[in-house]
Amino acid sequence: MNQRTKIIPPDVEYHRVLAGEKRRIGRGILAIVLLIGGMLFFSILFSAVVTMVQGSRADGTVAYTPLFHAAGMASVAILIPWSMLIQRWLYGLKGASLHSVISRFRFDIFGRALLFLVPAWTVITAILYWAPLPETTWSQTDVVWFLIATLLLTPLQGAGEEYGFRGLILRVAGGWARGARAGLVVGIVVSSVLFALVHFSTDLLLNVNYLIFALGTALVTWRSGGIEIAVVLHAGFNTLGFLFDAALHVDITAAYDRTAGVGTMTTLLPGVVIAITVLIVWMRTRRTGPARTPHKIKSNVGAGVA
């Protein structure tokens, strides 16, 4: 454990903030184990609490109620402070540096990304929900509570995964190589593969979709120098999906089946939005290159989606 907070290195890209003279692979593996292990622990713990509160069904399963939904969202949202704590403990850097290369959440970039991505995700989500999905019977009260839980917690759930995978893991693995470009490749590969694996899907197209999503958000995080656009991509897609679920009374347990054979070509539609976002961010940073930590960040701070 570090006894004091270290200074963020100047003039480095987002994924290289944790890189040092030594590659510290063992420490990096420990950080990843703590992150994913914590993610699974919080999920099991919250699910157990919900089971104690509402009980289980005759077959031993737990009904997907608004309370269960809220618990699932909250268990992943905790990855935001958990990622910051791991970075502080193992690397001695303040958790705020996970926000961006200037160690704060850039609301200007976040706002511009919202203006572009929310309409785009709305169109894609409408297409994905065009075909009928399995339905369930919910009371009006259940729908209201489900909407409240979704609006309050799902954005944080999406952000939690981004801080964990495109934040901490991208940085940890990005420091395992000697050079910045090699570190970027290693960071993207490790964070993307782990992101796909933690979704526990055996369907090929679903896993391809997860990999495309992870690759795109990692590239956006690298070029823009922060987590803000990736958070909008992830939180926006998840939140809109659950809002559609509530409006259409979708049976979430059946609709979110991740076993082999459930994926179709429409499963890859979100990749269109991801690809367009990467292209826009890349074009807006083509002259400045990826944003870096101060002192050369002045021309890069505004990089983002417009």
Vertex 235, ends 231 and 236: CA angle to 5°?
Answer: 110
* Residue 55: predicted pLDDT: 77
* Residue 209: predicted pLDDT: 97
Q: Are 194 and 130 in contact (CB under 8 A)?
A: no
Tell me the two tokens of residue 85: 């704590």
pLDDT tens for each residue of 93-134: 999 999 999 999 999 999 999 999 999 999 999 999 998 889
Q: Report the alpha-carbon distance of residue 158 to residue 20 in Å, rounded.
A: 30
Tell me the two tokens of residue 188: 């993207």
* Band (58; pLDDT cuts 50, 70, 90): low
Q: Report the alpha-carbon distance of residue 89 to residue 18 in Å, rounded.
A: 12
* Residue 2: predicted pLDDT: 45
Residue 264 has pLDDT above 80, yes or no: yes
pLDDT (average), residues 134-141: 90
Residue 227 has pLDDT above 70, yes or no: yes
Q: Report the alpha-carbon distance of residue 304 to residue 283 in Å, rounded.
A: 10
pLDDT tens for each residue of 267-303: 999 999 999 999 999 999 999 999 999 974 443 434 4
pLDDT tens for each residue of 144-153: 999 999 999 9
